[in-house]
Every structure is written in C-alpha cells, then in structure tokens.
Amino acid sequence: MAKSKNRMVQEVNAGSMADIAFLLLIFFLVTTTIASNKGIQNLLPPKQDPNVPPPEINLNERNIFNILVNANDQLLVEGEYVENTDMLAEDIKDFLLNFGAPDEEAVALFNGLPQSLKARANRDPKSSDHPMSGGAVVSIKTNRGTSYEKYLEVLDQVKKAYFEIYAERVGLTAEQYRALTGKNPAEKELMDRGKEGIPLAISIAEPDKIGGS
Amino acid sequence: MGKFKKKTKTSENIPTSALPDIIFMLLFFFMVTTVLREQDILVEQRLPQATQLQKLENKTLISYLFIGKPRNPALYGTEPRVQANDVLINTKDIVLWVNQEKDMLSEVERDQITISLKADREVKMGAISDVQFELREADARKLLYASTTKVVN
C-alpha cells in the first residue's frame, strides 16, 4: 500500500498561488503611496523675546537684494516691477558675486573662485560689497494675501542661485550638489567647500497686513 | 521528418512553480518600501511645485503639519485650517503639539526635529506666517516646505 502511494507524483498544484500573490500585490500597489520627504528646507530665526527689541542690523541698502511680493502675487525686485521669476536666479547670482567693495578676506575668497564665477563680478558700486557674512543678503517680503505657491516659487529661485554658486565651486551640477547628504566625510567636505565663505543669507520678513486676508 | 515528430513528444509545460516566489518577492518589496497612510487627511492637499528640492534622510525626526482648506466645508468651514496627526487644531495649539512630538524623540534628537509643512498651494501667506511664528515659539525651527518636482521645459 505504501509503495503504491510513493509512485504517485506528489506535487501540490501551485499554479493558483501566483494568482493569490498577484491579488495581494495589486492590493498593496493600490493602497499605498510612497511617502516622499522632498521639499525646500528653511531654517526659521530664533524666537524673539518680547522684552528685548529686535537687534539693530546696520546694512547698506546696496547689500540687500529686495524682493517684494504683494497680495496679487506681483513681484517687485530691487524696486522694479517684473513679470515672472525666470530671470530672478541669474540676477541674484550677479548680485551675490558683485564684489563691489571687497575687504581682504573677500579678495581671498574671490581669488579662490572658479573662472566662470569670477566673470560675474561686475564691481558695481551700487550692488553688494561681497557675499561673505555681513555682506550680501537676499530679502523676501510678502503680504499676508500672497499665495503660498508664489512665495515658494520665489524662495525656490533664491535657493537655485545659491545652489548653483555652491555647485560650481566644487565642480558639480546643482542637482548633484543638492543630492549630497553629508553622511560620509567626502560628501561633507564637498558641501563645506561649496558653502565656505558664502553663507546662505536669505531674510524672510514678516508679511505685512495691508490688503489680502 | 522523423526529427520533427520527436520534438512533439517533449512536454510543453513551462514550469510555473517559481512564479509565486517571484511575485512574493515583488510583494515583499512593496510591503517593505511603502508606508501605509495612518491618518486621514482632512484638508485639501495640492502641494506646490518647485525645482530646488532636497530630500530628508531621517524619517523619524520629521513631523507633518497639513495646511489647507477643509475637505468637508459643512463641518469645518472654508478657511484654511491646520491639521496635526488626525485632527484639525488651532494655530495656538501648535506649540503644544510640537512639544508632544518632541517628547516622542530621544533626548539627543529633540532639537533636530524637522517640521514638514504640507501646505496647499492656494493657502495665503498670512496663515503660513502664523504657523511659522508658533513654530518659532516652540523652538522647532527646522522647516521643510514639502513640494513636488516641477518639470522644467
């Protein structure tokens, strides 16, 4: 009896197993969304003490790149009305790398820049002195009625200008530079070398309350 | 001719016994890589688009705030609201919420908490700025404006 049983092919029919697995697979494909943690990073200024007045910062007008966005999402860049943000990143790069009145340290920084960035230095006395701390600042001021989308579009362009400068200094593309995480020392070194001497100086002013919501 | 006849004798079954294994492998891949959404989003979410995106690596440090018009205007009105975890909260409760989120982290990571602001593109800056003010008060200054990739033509 036992021998006759062994002669039979003992195979479980596994053909429908694939169907079951497919069903599960499709269920997971449909119900889940791949969470992406992508976005534009921003560091808020520290909390203000109401008893202490905000620190007086003396900056020359020429060292501030003013971007104003009103409640109708219209842009005023350096006192001039502009239609869209297409040229914004290039303008900011020119402004940052102007080197109008560099001190000794800034001259050293300038000499360390690659040729393509040096070419941007117009030495315009009406534009920024140097991009180091205490120098050029990009200021974004919105209205309470400005749409979040427009604000992010402007911030995006400002970040683009900075990232392109950083990336060019270390010989990467902006995409490659942004992808650096600083997890291993080699990447961290690249990031630091890109940023060195040119801090990310974006000032986001409190929105004013005239008009809008 | 005889050669061709011989061929027909071989069985034509493709062995499919390995197919479930392959499908299971795919299944496990999707099960592991995806996160089941554990909360209902009560506000509209059409994230703005941007080009200069950076990815955050450490997911445990991220807490999400959703801002947008409520999906159910009959219950919650039409003004943009803030959602944290599963409920709509008032702007002034954000400090409390941030502290609760901080408590869930280990002590060394507490000051590295990052708030991912998932705001609808039509929200006005007034609402965003109020939230940012509260986040400053709560000393959660690392912020991520969540957005999707813009395709540049």
Q: Domain limits of chain A?
A: 64-204
Range 128-147 of A in CB contact (< 8 A) with B: 142-147
pLDDT digits (tens, 9 = 90+) for B75-110: 888 888 899 888 889 888 999 999 999 998 888 888
A1 or B58: whose pLDDT is higher? B58
Residues A54-85 as b/e (b if ≥16 CB within 10 A, e otherwise) read eeeeeeeebbbbbbbbbbebebebeeeeeeeb
Is there a contact between B80 and B73 (Cβ–Cβ < 8 Å)? no
- Contact call for A147 and B26, based on CB within 8 A: no
Q: Is the pLDDT of residue B69 over 70?
A: yes
pLDDT digits (tens, 9 = 90+) for A88-107: 888 888 888 888 888 888 88
Q: Does residue B141 belong to the interface with chain A, where contact is any CB pair within 8 Å?
A: yes
Q: Can you tell me the distance from the alpha carbon of A114 to that of B81, in angstroms, rounded to the nearest whole number?
A: 48
B49-149: what CATH class?
Answer: alpha beta
Q: Can you tell me the distance from the alpha carbon of B55 to that of B58, in angstroms, rounded to the nearest whole number?
A: 9
CA angle A193, A196, A197 (to 5 degrees): 155
Is there a contact between A134 and A109 (Cβ–Cβ < 8 Å)? no
- Sorted by where each begins, the domain ranges of chain B are 49-149
pLDDT of residue B10: 66
**Which amino acid is it at A59?**
L
Q: Does residue A10 belong to the interface with chain B, where contact is any CB pair within 8 Å?
A: no
DSSP A140-154: EE-BTTSBHHHHHHH
Is there a contact between A38 and B55 (Cβ–Cβ < 8 Å)? yes
CA angle A85, B144, B100 (to 5 degrees): 150
Q: Is the pLDDT of residue B73 over 80?
A: yes
Q: Can you tell me the distance from the alpha carbon of A111 to that of A17, in angstroms, rounded to the nearest whole number?
A: 68
Q: Is the pLDDT of residue B5 over 80?
A: no
Q: Does residue B109 belong to the interface with chain A, where contact is any CB pair within 8 Å?
A: no
* Averaged pLDDT of chain A: 81
pLDDT band at A52 (very low <50, low <70, confident <90, very high): confident
Q: Is the ipTM of this complex over 0.85?
A: no
Which segment, A12-16, A177-181, A205-209, B88-92, is predicted with the most confidence on average? B88-92
